[in-house]
Structure 1
Amino acid sequence: MGEAGRELPGLARRLVRATTADEAAAWLKELNDRHGRHDDHLKERTVAKQNPMHARGRKWWRTHERLRRAYFRLVRPNRAGVLFAFRDPAVLKGGGPLPSTTNQLEGGVNAVAKRALDHHRGSSEEHMRRCREWAVYMLAERPGPMALVTPEHWRTRKGKPAGNDGPMPGTMTAVQEPTDGVDAYESGFGIRKGWAGRST
């Protein structure tokens, strides 16, 4: 890995500690200095003759591809202007400081939406979308689900009776099939082998 690889994780950890514009500028300077020191190292190439086992049809490849990829994962967001978006005055609009990571979003919002989808496996894609929207809506500060109910929802509708809700016809096992495009595989239903703790 070398010195270049050892420096990068520490630099990445210091990224979230940059809470002011001056600290962000200092961090970017450190990133550029690091690149200047290790540029030749990152540009090294390996040709297929040197390592034919890893050629996979290529004539050459970057020797330190993973290290280059990690470096450019820090450079590209900065070039796009989103690396320090949490410090951007246009984003803050006079408000308080924003968190520098999305950890609160991942644990507070995304986890709830994923759990709701997990509890409704087998639903159609439209139903899953509505389920996710509802889960996120209920995380609002003051959700008002009854405000979404209109008088039309309370009216009884005269129409055809509900169809047969039994198993899907034409299936060999007469088991209800999941909706198209939904992976309803349950890992515990496969064929099991072994002794399962029984003694001989």
Structure 2
Amino acid sequence: CRYEHAGAWIALMKRIAEPRMVVSDGGTGFAKALKKVWPIAKHQRCIFHVFCQIKRYTTSKPNTLAGVELYCLAKDLLKIKEKQEAETWVTRFTEWIKKYQEFLREMTVDEHGNKRPTHERLLKAERSLLKLIKENTLFTYLDKEFINDFIAPSTNNRIEGGINSRLREMLRNHRGLSIERRIKAVYWWCYMHSPEPLSLSEIIKTMPTDRSIAAIYQRMNDKSRLEKSLSLWGDAIVWSDLHKMDKSFTEWD
């Protein structure tokens, strides 16, 4: 989501009863919102999104042996069904780190003369997996408290494929709508596909108006433009850029 942040997640999550476990794709600000609004709920990172993230770093055809083995480890994440298999996977990943630690330490001098890791993308993949393991969010779905009661999901494919993809398809089929009408179309789709939709007369009463939708969009658009216009360190105007200085100058006789 373009405006995805902790505040937006908090506003959404406050309207929903706290679940026992929540599966997320690791969106910006979600972990912070989770601790504040649903402090008891367990967190599971979507295994499929984890796999896709590692695949982006290694590609599907890695050109190093370390990349090939890490990509295979990522694919194996999708097959884990038991706690013992998860522990075995973590052991294999630990052995991968030990095996290639010297390889991953290699440095390269770039065109500006600066040193940087030669295998930077593999290092990013390694760090992302280590972070999930330390947070205990990689195999939450295998916890005993869930296995004994119900089959906990390891991915959020149900909502991605069953709802989000349908919404994207609906918007593709109605290209050319204004932003207000696109938002309203999403509202209507969600209303009509809810388990117990209201009557049309009630939906019309609760449906946001074009004016209210436009106001929300304008407010978010103004905020985005303001954030983009703020100067970062080194971006601000320097006095000397607009004034010529020459300390060696002496007045004419």
TM bucket (normalised to shorter chain) is: 0.5 to 0.7
Establish whether residue 123 from structure 1 lines up as the match of residue 178 from structure 2.
yes
Gaps of 5+ in 2: 1-62, 206-216, 222-253
Q: 1:45 aligns with which of 85, 107, 131?
A: 107
Establish whether residue 62 from structure 1 lines up as the match of residue 117 from structure 2.
yes
AA at the equivalent of 1:10: C
Give the C-alpha shift of residue 11 in structure 1.
0.7
| 1:148 to 1:3, Cα distance in 2 relative to 1, 3 A | farther
Give the C-alpha shift of residue 13 in structure 1.
0.9
For normalisation by structure 2, the TM-score amounts to: 0.48
CA contact (8 A) 1:112 1:135 kept: no
What residue in structure 1 maps to residue 153 of structure 2? 99
Give the C-alpha shift of residue 111 in structure 1.
0.6
Secondary structure (helix, strand or coil) at the match of 2:108 reads strand
CA contact (8 A) 2:108 2:117 kept: yes
CA contact (8 A) 2:191 2:197 kept: no
Structure with the higher fraction of residues in helix conformation: 2
CA contact (8 A) 1:45 1:63 kept: yes
Secondary structure (helix, strand or coil) at the match of 1:61 reads strand
Give the C-alpha shift of residue 147 in structure 1.
7.8
CA offset digits 1:18-45 (Å, max 9, x no partner): 1122211111111111111111111211
What residue in structure 2 maps to residue 4 of structure 1? 66
CA contact (8 A) 1:44 1:62 kept: yes
What percent of counterpart residues are identical? Answer: 27
Secondary structure (helix, strand or coil) at the match of 1:143 reads coil
Greater Rg by CA = 1
After TM superposition, list the pairs within 5 Å mapping 1:15-164 onto structure 2.
15-48=77-110, 52=111, 57=112, 59-89=114-144, 92=146, 94-118=148-172, 119=174, 121-125=176-180, 127-140=181-194, 142-146=195-199, 149=202, 153=205
Gaps of 5+ in 1: 154-178, 182-200
| 1:115 to 1:4, Cα distance in 2 relative to 1, 3 A | same
Give the C-alpha shift of residue 98 in structure 1.
2.8
| 1:34 to 1:110, Cα distance in 2 relative to 1, 3 A | same
| 1:22 to 1:3, Cα distance in 2 relative to 1, 3 A | same
Q: CA RMSD in A?
A: 3.1
Secondary structure (helix, strand or coil) at the match of 1:98 reads coil
